Structure 1
């Protein structure tokens, strides 16, 4: 679960921007987690080029750096709205819930130099206390953990690697002692609970196999008026996997390395595959679709909106417990009424699940308090210097809830396009 995220000096975010999933209002629709209340949803509205997609990119980029490090090709990811930002630190901080604990984990770096300059991990208590577990400042590393001899030896052996690579999370698989549970919880959250869907994502592994969950998929596809009435499957030779991009092959191999029987799906831009393993035997099927006739249609022949629905329905059918799903431009290729219905479906069918959704949109018809809580609504606005500013609707005085969209379009809340009158 996500509690909050902060970022500064990244892309269009020159100054620190923060999004919080802690409710500021009473009322239904929140998640209760060990006496802590969290919002189930967050929505970022904004004009084109306002920076709302950059916020999702910031969370994704922070995840990648925490797990894998930084490449020199990203040296210009600092906020280039001002020249002096080139040599300033950039900071990413995630406040989160993982495996029964609350944490605040963050790190800083100078993009232009490709150097990590700091890292920290706090455990948060339910009475708002912060317990520092780990901190790195430059070349200095300090631990505030109860360490036995085995744990101390591990850290001693890792110190030089950490200073060279930058972050302790890069070596989490070597932190095998029970004393390092907090680091493993953070890495597990990044790997398994922070799920990110971009607009033109080349591929996605779906938790729910449409063939195994045929009835539910067909029910929802009918609800969303796709015209699909049934699936057809064609068994393929496993050699088909060798034709996929290497990064896709690696993801599939990593998934199949997990023990036990399993089934999942691979969604490409032009194909949908069912992959399952039963008693050690792996099978793969290509899925095609029947409509209201006798012909089958391949996945690549379906509309962009139908393809996007498979990504979104996977969240409903097989939600990962305690996960958050970040979706950039949720309404892309999908009718506004269907987007609203999906949001109702998410909040209704998953109200017993601890699952969150955070998405960006410029679809004003979603700006309704009968659909989204007031404290779930955020706006992104481009400033005069081209930097982005994130702010909550909650900073404005509450008015008639039916006027939210008209107030937004009139510019009262900001986050809308600004047009310049020119002499003709």
Structure 2
């Protein structure tokens, strides 16, 4: 689970800015919204982030998505430097820094961070944190003197001549300037680094407004519990959909219908020869590919509508944007119930009717069996309600008027009364983080 995330010199974030999921010890409301990882570390089930357009809400999500991408790809890219904070000239010569603290499924706590500039990693670090003094797994610093990285590890990793030689080779030529040290774990074989890689790959999910969910197809195909859960939930939304189903194709048949070249088909088949599934997009059609026996099979998502005594099958292109958005959320909702995964969603309310959104969030937050963690940005003010969220679960993003940098703060910092109408107070500007529209009134229309 996410504990804290720090951003420096990235997009609208100037100086180090922290977002965290730590529960305020002084709050006694919604005790079931708090998970205890360690005796003295308590994190929240959810957080919602409000702010005016352009305040930086999405930039925080982009920073987190960027860090996940760097970790999974194993390197940074030179184009990232264009994302530095632009409103101060001196920031052009300063590095971007991203740092995250999180807990794994078995409650180990790590802090991982990188500082980078252009196409070079300047610093990289991993610590075991939580209770007590942080313990370094490794620290990597770029040496200006010899233009090479200097790497220090926990002494337990360099107890043999072979392990010491491996670190020396990393410093001299194996580790390229833009590569992350954790990307070399096939050679290093550090359990702690493997924990980090697994968390970023399997336990942190970032969902943007344009994200399409191929995992829906995999879930419906491979998990009967997910299929039953999805159809029951969708039926409750009263969208006219009786069930979500899969249409099976021969892989070659599907690709030929969209006039895809042979190389792409062969590439998918090579993936399936070593993995159980692959995903892709053909024009606007999402598909999942599987190997069943010796056959290469593709599956696309369809919906079944009942009118009278007849059933009608719709492709996803025939469904509304809101319906497609809800379908993309199905793995997230199921994951919250079944796992300790963290789901981060930008613009949760995009294309959704306020009544559905309100009921869905209320259902999630009231469920005492939720195991996962939900973080989302929204403009839907009806969710600003302390009957739904704790005051420390409600965050605001606001631009600093002096340098246009993003500031983050919680509702709890205002110490609101229990009977205060939070939505009304927010819309009246009591907590900031709303557009200033006085100049709009001055327009001579």
Query: What displacement does 1:275 show?
Result: 4.8
Does the C-alpha gap of structure 1 residues 217 and 269 become closer, same or farther in structure 2, counting only changes over 3 Å? farther
* Map of 1:145 onto structure 2: 155
* Map of 1:333 onto structure 2: 351
* Map of 2:168 onto structure 1: 156
Cα distance between partner residues in 2 of 1:309 and 1:129 = 43
- Gap regions ≥5 residues in structure 1: none
* Map of 2:62 onto structure 1: 57
Query: What displacement does 1:396 show?
Result: 0.6
Judge conservation of contact 2:220–2:245 (CA < 8 Å) in 1.
no
Judge conservation of contact 1:321–1:354 (CA < 8 Å) in 2.
yes
* Map of 2:196 onto structure 1: 186
Cα distance between partner residues in 1 of 2:392 and 2:299 = 44
Judge conservation of contact 1:265–1:273 (CA < 8 Å) in 2.
yes
**Structure exhibiting the larger radius of gyration computed from Cα positions:** 2
Cα distance between partner residues in 2 of 1:416 and 1:123 = 39
The answer to whether the aligner puts 1:134 opposite 2:138 as a matched pair is yes
Give the TM-score normalised by the residue count of structure 1: 0.88
**Count of paired positions:** 414
| Alignment counterpart, residue 72 of structure 2, candidates 58, 67, 72 | 67
Deviates more, 1:164-173 or 1:80-89: 164-173
Query: What displacement does 1:135 show?
Result: 1.1
Does the C-alpha gap of structure 1 residues 43 and 287 become closer, same or farther in structure 2, counting only changes over 3 Å? same
Give the root-mean-square deviation of aligned CA atoms. Answer: 2.9
Cα distance between partner residues in 2 of 1:269 and 1:318 = 28
Question: For 1:209, what is the secondary structure of its paired residue?
Answer: helix
Partner deviation per Cα, 1:146-197 (whole Å, 9 max, x = no partner): 1232432332332233352342022222222xxx111111111111111110
Does the C-alpha gap of structure 1 residues 185 and 248 become closer, same or farther in structure 2, counting only changes over 3 Å? farther
Give the TM-score normalised by the residue count of structure 2: 0.84
Query: What displacement does 1:124 show?
Result: 1.2
Question: For 1:205, what is the secondary structure of its paired residue?
Answer: helix
Cα distance between partner residues in 2 of 1:227 and 1:186 = 42
Question: For 2:220, what is the secondary structure of its paired residue?
Answer: coil
Does the C-alpha gap of structure 1 residues 164 and 89 become closer, same or farther in structure 2, counting only changes over 3 Å? closer
- Gap regions ≥5 residues in structure 2: 144-149
Judge conservation of contact 1:289–1:298 (CA < 8 Å) in 2.
yes
Cα distance between partner residues in 2 of 1:251 and 1:28 = 45
- Residues 147-296 of structure 1: matches in 2 within 5 Å? 147=157, 148-149=159-160, 150-159=162-171, 160-162=173-175, 164-176=177-189, 180-201=190-211, 204-206=214-216, 209-210=219-220, 212=224, 213-239=226-252, 240=254, 257-258=274-275, 270-273=284-287, 275-276=289-290, 282-293=296-307, 294=310, 295-296=312-313
* Map of 1:28 onto structure 2: 32
Deviates more, 1:388-397 or 1:154-163: 154-163
